[in-house]
A and B are shown apart, each in its own frame.
Chain A
């Protein structure tokens, strides 16, 4: 019985194209990509990227910050002990921090309530990051409606950013969102309460888990919120030494600033105070 291999049917032309794809250096492709992006961003007249305000992270990101015309994924990671995170409060905080960095205008927040425990975002706690009066809250009861609403929002010129809260991972929808974001220079964020299969098209993917905070020495109070942040995908950025770069961040709710906790202060009870001196 003769065995026919699929490659026997491949035409010479497609074979050549395959070879070409491997031959063209990654740097050149990246350059073309950058030119295309610059073109679309220029048309929308907006900044290409917005810095996070954390030097260590911005250094890794393309154009020194988070690309505006792109899709970004934020997901709640498991607890340090390996347990599934009971809630995505930390991921929500980080998403709110990102939303606050993007330009002025309406923020479209689309969510799909799931399960018995519906916990919508609480505007009063988001006000340190951005003015909740800018929020336009959309509730969708189906995933296709949610993605449709996000896409409509991305096409609307008065919108600063679009955030979607869903558990669904739809590659087609992700691709459409990414294209719409790129075309209009409006950032699209996907917030997930549980890790999901990654969108192949997202520019960055972040995983955030809450980390133990630092009490005042001698007391047992809840300190400033600390998050373990992982940059699990960085499509256009500079490669880092570590496979998945990771930082311990602290959100100071008095000075309203997010900063990396220096390695020396991890777990130290005096971290909160000394870090303020450093910062």
Chain B
């Protein structure tokens, strides 16, 4: 029905503009909240609210409230009770908690995603919403055929043929059905009944290692959160030990009573399962978490783990728990620093075989292999004298030279004139023609690569500088020299 028609029928109609983006945000938030039940949460691709094209919305779908979430709770229901009772309890818990937030929903549970989808939308009695294990054939039989998630043309044809209930399809011969309508109806039916697998793609990749802690009463004090984190961490570290892995990344999520979720994560530069060390890293981060009106559930997960490469776990040191010495200590320190300053700001230096001074030194992650002992000394011995500080970007300077090819007699830098008394050089360094230029192109064949002539100079105050002339001296058409001078470093 068009809006104009509706208004003609009911002049007092209240209209609100649809906000698909807001709907999507809400459904994302609910999906995030549902992580409390299972890590395997997917936003239903058949949900009406998320289909961007109205025509494409499947027959059963509509608008707004028809969005759906799929939760794979396999292996999670024991947290709510044994066997079927646990499953029922989980379902009831989900509905009551959402209802408490004024979100009306219909939740169904079945062995297959397809059956649960159909039940949630078309079950007539409240009791039918829970389908006992292997009971989907009976449960679905009486439901309308819309519950099969079929494309609209197929659905229309089914209705014309009088196939109104899913149960009507059970006795149908499969081959003619497939010949007439394609594979979709049979696949959907098999998926709903459980004879064909239906993979669900989770919204967030579920972590392999995960521990959760639910509280009888919401907690809010920082000390309580730290204590809970420590307990979760201890449990997770035991899991790591059994699996022979260490964490590279850990994420803690606080499920607040108002339904929102606050997360924070820490990273380590090598697999780690040392409880005190990880706790020390968490202590940095926990302060950023906002418990809001209270936290009712905490989940600690390890999204990234690696095979344990460390040595045997050391006996705990009574005097200094969680502090290792030597290389271990250095890496732990680097982790702590990187957590606060950013990992790009905590680096070690590697040498690279290059003639260009700015390319010799490479900043590398702490987890990378350190430069071999003596590698730097070898690099230094191959080259001429180098400055102790190298400007990241060479500074243009103004230069006066008696003879074009001589070192300058005076250079001006930062509004100061430096009269040069002594000079060494030139040391000619040519660009590396075998590497593409900074814009990705290669210099045309036959052209000489640009060269720099480096001079080490000392001014009358004893300050030592490293200057270079960009290219050999040449006169341009207007009589001015083309070569420019740059300051590239400061010598000891």
Binding site for B on A (CB under 8 A): 79-81, 83, 85-90, 92-93, 96, 105-106, 108, 117-128, 131-133, 135-141, 145, 148-149, 152-153, 156-159, 209-213, 215, 220-223, 225-227, 251, 253
Contact = CB atoms under 8 A, between A and B. Distances in A.
Interface in B395-450: 395, 413-414, 416, 418, 421-424
Interface stretch (B99-107, B143-151, B367-375): B367-375
- Interface residues of B: mostly helix, strand, loop or mixed? mixed
Interface string B323-354: 11111111011101100110001111101000
B422 A223 contact: yes
A140 B347 CA distance: 12
Contact of A209 (B340, B395, B462): B462
B423 A222 contact: yes
B402 to A, nearest CB: 12
Given A211-B462, A221-B424, 20 more contacts: A86-B465, A89-B463, A89-B464, A119-B489, A120-B390, A126-B388, A131-B374, A132-B351, A133-B348, A133-B370, A133-B371, A133-B376, A135-B349, A136-B348, A157-B326, A158-B326, A212-B458, A212-B460, A222-B458, A251-B492
A7 B327 CA distance: 57
Contacts of B333: 108, 136, 152-153, 156, 158-159
17 contacts: A89-B463, A93-B492, A119-B391, A120-B392, A122-B361, A122-B386, A127-B376, A133-B373, A135-B348, A152-B333, A152-B336, A156-B329, A156-B333, A158-B329, A210-B462, A215-B422, A222-B456
A119 B390 contact: yes
A88 B341 CA distance: 26
Contact of A133 (B372, B422, B456): B372
10 closest cross-chain pairs (CB), A and B: A93-B492, A158-B329, A79-B461, A87-B490, A89-B490, A119-B389, A133-B371, A157-B325, A122-B390, A125-B386
Most buried by B among A90, A119, A251, A253: A119
B186 interface: no
B351 A157 contact: no
B341 A138 contact: yes
Nearest to B366: A136
B180 interface: no
Contact of A158 (B325, B376, B387): B325
A100 B168 CA distance: 87
A279 B124 CA distance: 102
Nearest to B383: A124
Contacts of A87: 389, 463, 465, 490
Contacts of A124: 351, 357, 360-361, 376, 379-380, 383, 386
Given A125-B386, A210-B463, A133 B375 contact: yes
Interface size class, chain B:
35 or more
B457 interface: yes
Contacts of B377: 127-128, 131
B29 interface: no
Given A86-B414, A210-B463, A253-B385, A127 B379 contact: yes
Contacts, number: 207
B363 interface: yes
Contacts of B385: 125, 253
Interface string B163-188: 00000000000000000000000000
A105 B327 CA distance: 8
B76 interface: no
Nearest to B344: A139
B491 interface: yes
Nearest to A135: B349
B422 A222 contact: yes
Contact of A123 (B326, B351, B391): B351
B388 A86 contact: no
A128 B492 CA distance: 12
Nearest to B328: A158
A182 to B, nearest CB: 17
Nearest to B395: A117
B392 A119 contact: yes
A93 B373 CA distance: 21
Nearest to A82: B461
A83 B417 CA distance: 11
Given A89-B490, A132-B371, A125 B463 contact: no
Given A152-B337, A156-B333, A222-B423, A123 B392 contact: no
A131 B389 contact: no
Given A86-B416, A212-B462, A220-B421, A159 B330 contact: yes
B424 A222 contact: yes
A243 to B, nearest CB: 23
A105 B370 CA distance: 13
B360 to A, nearest CB: 6
A140 B389 CA distance: 18
A117 B489 CA distance: 10
